[in-house]
Structure 1
Amino acid sequence: MEHSRGIDIGKLRAWWSHRQWLDRPHPGASAAEVLAATGWARSVGGAAPYLGLFARAGLGRAAVDTAVAALEVHELPSARGCTYLLPAADFALGLAVGAAAPEGELTAAAKHLEVGRDEVEQLCLAIERVLADGGTLDPTTIREAVGDAVRPLGEAGRKRGLSTTLPLALGLLQSRGRIRRVPVNGRLDQQRYGYAGWDQPVTGDAVDLARRYFSWAGPATLGHFRWFSGFSAATARRAVAEAGPVPVEPGSDLLLLPELAEEFAEFTPPTEPHYTLLAGIDGIHLLHRELPRLLDPADAARPLPAGRAGRTFGAEADPQTHLVLDRGRIVGLWEYDTERGEIVHQSFVPPDDALRAAVARTEAFVRDELGDARGFSLDSPKSRAPKIAALRESAAARRRAG
């Protein structure tokens, strides 16, 4: 990792793990407290939020689902227009920094599909009237209720992923805090939703996001922040300048908030391993999205499980499997086998009792509370079967080698 020249990579990894609450359990912390301290959790219809909250605070699915139902945390379109699980204190900011995405979709629809803003704004008003009684309605019911206010977009729309104007209006209303998307069964790892009326303020700016980001992810570079935020280069530079992070050492492009500088300087990496099993899109990776920084070179050169010939783990933008971490270093890969009800994992380090206990603990959580550990909405036991077979064979080969 070029950014770490002169800084011990082991210390950096351990510090990132420490700031992400992955160096020790935090029992008693709520889902909102975890997300406020460690960052918004990417949500793509998979198990990532549950796995992350379980690893950091031992939170079971029922506790997380209760927090979602109580609006202590919520899935919202936020940075880059992507869906994250946010604490209530950040709802307004998350919506504000994600507002450009639905506006961009409307601009594209106007250009390519001849959809006018007035048409979509009228549809927004119709949707709000339908949801005014406080109920939660699925998209089909909303479409039927607003009638001709929704317009089919024909073959041209289908080619662009828009069969009607309804998604454009729903996206705008979500970004404005006028409606919210509600999981129909209360679960974050299944993508069936209804919509309910809301009255959520939308406030905050790029500087607010930069301050939060560098508290979660620092030391990090301007480039890392640009990736996370989706801001233009000019906006990102201005936000970082006003947020005030400073180089972690003279000449470094790794930046850290001044109030954390002394703590980082005095920080000593733990000597004992502490293993955690996380989703591939957990914040320990995705806040920076620079996978090699968490990998030893020999591990970066490993082939992808069931990947095409020549593809190596460290060359990927994102992991293609779930991760085992120890003090900020990726030390293994894993997937969940629903047929056998077990975790299958490949270890980069000699397994010890602590690793076996971490695997067993997460395996019981997935089996008893989640039923599966999907990486994303379209993941399935069938689609991941080749990876599971490759991981199982790798583990067997290691045992044979002694």
Structure 2
Amino acid sequence: MTTKSETPQIPQEKLTLQVLRAWSWHRQGLDGALAGCDSATVLDRVGWARSIGGANTYLTLFARAGIRRPEADAALAAQHIHELPTARGCTYVLPAKDYAWGLQIGHASAEAAVKVLVRLGVEREEVEQLAEDVLQVLLRARDTAVEALDPRGLKEILGDKVRSMGEEGKKKGASTTLPAALGLLQTDGRIRRVPVNGRLDQQRYSYVAWELPASGESDEAVRARMLEGFLGWTGGATLGQIRWFTAFTVAQAKKALAATGAVEVATAAGDVLWMLPEDVDGLAGFEVPPAEDIQLLSGSDSLVLLRRNAADLIDETGCQAVQGLSGSALAADLSDHPIVDRGRIIGLWQYDPEGTRIAWWTFEPASAGVRSRISQVEEWITADLGDFRSFSLDSPKSRAKNIARLDALRKK
């Protein structure tokens, strides 16, 4: 491992956006380096996959390692990977080695839900007692035909122990006391949420009892672990990007950075990236691959979501092409899915299930390689998924306008 004192100095002018895009592409395993790896290994190497009831996790695994849905679903069923609430209280799909400390990172969000109820007049003891009652119900259900229970089933069993919070509660996002109790149990590793049909791109869940051992680490140590992972996944990030993903305070982030031995590296654009010393060593000798390398990714893929820097991945040609478009083609959160070449966004796409096709548009005329990759991903979506949803409420109807827009732009 490269130490801080051995870290090479990289000329600032070398670190152009083109180089940094390709570097992130490489660190994200999109260059074929992860071919043949299993699901847990991919997520360990490139970072947790955002799960919001969409298909991002499946494409994350397929794009990097050629993993098909049955293999990913089998890894989920075997608990080699799992969807858990973690950074910022958001749900991601994690490898098993990260379960305990990943949950610990998300504990503050579970506590925040309890605080909302307290402000609505619910005593904390009531929420904790409800959590214990839920756990006992799930423990009794273990190894039975109804081992997994959804929120409705839990309410039926628990009856008046689940309190309705009325209209005021709905306004605060707390219709009943049950979600907060479930949140406490999840972040403690005492229950886990499982998709009712075993798929990651649906959002109907049940709960089962779990006995995940705690990490045994302090919150400070876990924050350092989070930063070490994040910097490895991204290949380097600004302090602002670090704080967005982690929700750490400035003091917490700086202390965690110091614990990782991270160093500051200035870029040609004048930004300052925090990087692990071994990644600086790798970047010093890195060259942008000369050959085109095309991937279709989700709009919430780790390449764009971990740092929310999609605009940095679009060059001048792309910026001119998307000027004036409605939606968020240049925003932190993409309105469509990106077509990417060595870290550079060169076009956009959506899946049209009615036509069993990908609607797409590239900022410049598409090469044979682009068309070939589109055909491959189109075939995979049709065969493995049936549709490609961005998030739980996405539907063919909701994306029809985007599909029509991409078709029109491509015909120009």
TM range (shorter): over 0.9
CA distance in 2, matches of 1:227, 1:236: 11
After superposition, residues 187-226 of structure 1 pair within 5 angstroms as: 187-203=199-215, 204=217, 205-226=222-243
Q: How many residues align?
A: 389
| Residues 1:92 and 2:103 aligned together | no
TM-score (norm 1): 0.93
Q: Shift of the alpha carbon at 1:222? A: 1.4
In structure 2, give the amino acid aligned to 1:227.
W
1:259 to 278, 283, 289: 278
Q: 1:288 aligns with which of 307, 316, 323?
A: 307
- The CA deviation string for residues 5-29 of structure 1, in whole angstroms up to 9 with x for no partner, is 6522111111100010112263321
Q: State the partner residue of 1:173.
A: 185
- RMSD of equivalent CA atoms: 1.7
CA-to-partner distance for each residue in 1:117-136, whole Å, 9 max, x for gaps?
00000001100100003211
1:400 alignment partner in structure 2:
none
Per the alignment, residue 63 of structure 1 pairs with 71
Comparing 180-189 with 159-168, greater Cα deviation is found at: 159-168
The alpha-carbon distance between structure 1 residues 39 and 354, as it changes in their structure 2 partners (threshold 3 A), is: same
Residue 4 (structure 2) aligns with = none
Q: Where do 4+ consecutive residues of structure 1 move more than 3 Å?
A: 249-252, 301-306
Distance in structure 1 (CA, Å) of the matches to 2:245 and 2:359 = 31
What are the Cα deviations for residues 258-313 of structure 1, in whole angstroms up to 9, with x where unaligned? Answer: 12222110011110011101110100011111222111133234447972xxx662
1:116 aligns with 2:123: yes
> 2: distance between equivalents of 1:304 and 1:121?
52
Measured in 2, the distance between the counterparts of 1:262 and 1:141 equals 54
Q: Any conservation in 1 of the 2:116–2:172 contact (CA below 8 Å)?
A: no
Aligned equivalent of 1:349, options 364, 371, 375: 364
> What is the CA distance between 1:352 and its match in structure 2?
1.4
Contact 1:302–1:313 (CA under 8 A) maintained in structure 2: no
Distance 1:202 1:224 in 2: 28
Question: What is the match of residue 9 of structure 2?
Answer: none
SS of residue in 1 equivalent to 2:126: helix
* Closer/same/farther in 2, CA of residues 92 and 312 from structure 1, 3 Å limit: closer
Q: Which of 271, 278, 288 does residue 290 from structure 2 map onto?
A: 271
- Give unmatched runs, 5+ long, in structure 1: 398-402
The CA distance in 1 between the partners of 2:332 and 2:23, in whole Å, is: 22
1:318 aligns with 2:330: no
Q: Name structure 2 gaps, 5 residues minimum.
A: 1-11
* Alignment partner of 1:331 is 2:357: no
1:245 maps to 2:252: no
SS of structure 2 residue aligned to 1:254? strand
CA distance in 2, matches of 1:279, 1:312: 14
> Which piece of structure 1 moves more, 248-257 or 373-382?
248-257
SS at structure 1 position matched to 2:255: helix
Deviation string, structure 1 residues 341-380 (Cα, Å, up to 9, x no partner): 0001011232111111110110001011100010000000
User: What SS class does the counterpart of residue 136 from structure 1 fall into?
Assistant: coil
Q: Which residue of 2 aligns with 1:11?
A: 19
Q: Specify the code of the residue in structure 2 equivalent to 1:127.
A: V
Say whether residues 1:39 and 2:47 are aligned partners. Answer: yes
Question: AA paired with 1:9?
Answer: L
Check whether the contact 2:103–2:187 (CA below 8 A) recurs between aligned residues. Answer: yes
- Structure 1's 144 and 240: CA in aligned 2 closer, same or farther, altered over 3 A? same
More deviation in 175-184 or 159-168? 159-168
Amino acid at match of 2:298: A
Give the match for residue 139 of structure 2: 132
- Give the Cα–Cα distance (whole angstroms) in 1 for the partners of residues 90 and 203 of structure 2: 15
